[in-house]
Amino acid sequence: MIVFIHDRPIRLVGPKAASQLISSAPIDPSSQKAFTDYDLILDARLDALKADALHGHLLILNATPATVEKLLALFQKADTSRLLSVTLGCLIKESCEAAIKKPFKIIKAGGGVVIKGNKRLLMFRRGVWDLPKGKLDDGESSREGAAREVEEETGVQVAVGERICTTWHTYALNGNPILKRTKWYRMDVLDDTNMTPQEDEDIEKLAWLNPRETQLALTNSFSSIRYVIDELGKLTTGVEGRKR
């Protein structure tokens, strides 16, 4: 599970995956310490989680629901501008996931990355590049809602393909904390002759962007959207690999 809080990715993994993060890291001969992708590693059983730990890439081992509650509290009052990511190695992953969802009202949504040749459909909304997505209607499946939202927001008719990933991100609505779960799908364009940005959703423009243009646009986007595009790349690479 990956949750984006203040646009910072919080990844929750189980104890086996957490141990592999450390055991597979190469050793620095000069210090006999492991090279890792993390700037700081804490053990929740031994180290108190404090605001000064919120910088760079942070790994917290042996995390419990209490660890999650402490982290959420710090996000409310501490400066997270220097924080890049948090990975929680949970003793019981399901318990930590329940704890991170607990303070929020959960809204379910669907969205998609529409493909046309080597280009992807992005939209410019509220000053940043984004992907079409939206809240599911009652009784609507994620696939159905994703297709409907894409067609409503862009005017492009699509065929829904494989699921790319699921993201969770937080925001406030009328002062209430919201956690939105979005299931993302790869989509093929069927007809884009009526492509028009949905103005009442504050969408200013739509653009078909090639991979280089997409990466440039994503420098002015959300971490969750960059994550979706990265996961699409992995999915595409996997498909190409199976074809060879």
Query: CA-based Rg of the chain, rounded to a whole angstrom?
Result: 20
Q: Contact 164/228 with Cβ under 8 angstroms?
A: yes
For the entire predicted model, the pTM comes to: 0.86
Say if CB 61 and CB 18 are below 8 A apart: yes
Q: Are strands 33-34 and 8-13 parallel, antiparallel or unpaired?
A: unpaired
Confidence (pLDDT) at 37? 80
**Going from the N-terminus, what domains does the chain have, and what CATH number goes with each?**
2-101 (no CATH), 105-243 (3.90.79.10)
Give the pLDDT of residue 179.
Answer: 97
Distance CA 244, CA 242 (A): 6
* Residue 7: CA count within 13 A, CB half-sphere: 8
The pLDDT value recorded for residue 185 is 98
One digit per residue, pLDDT tens: the chain, 244 residues?
Answer: 999 999 999 999 999 988 887 765 544 444 434 446 889 999 999 999 999 999 999 999 999 999 999 999 999 999 999 999 999 999 999 999 999 999 999 999 999 999 999 999 999 999 999 999 999 999 999 999 999 999 999 999 999 999 999 999 999 988 899 999 999 999 999 999 999 999 999 999 999 999 999 999 999 999 999 999 999 998 876 544 444 3
What pLDDT, on the 0 to 100 scale, is given for residue 230? 95
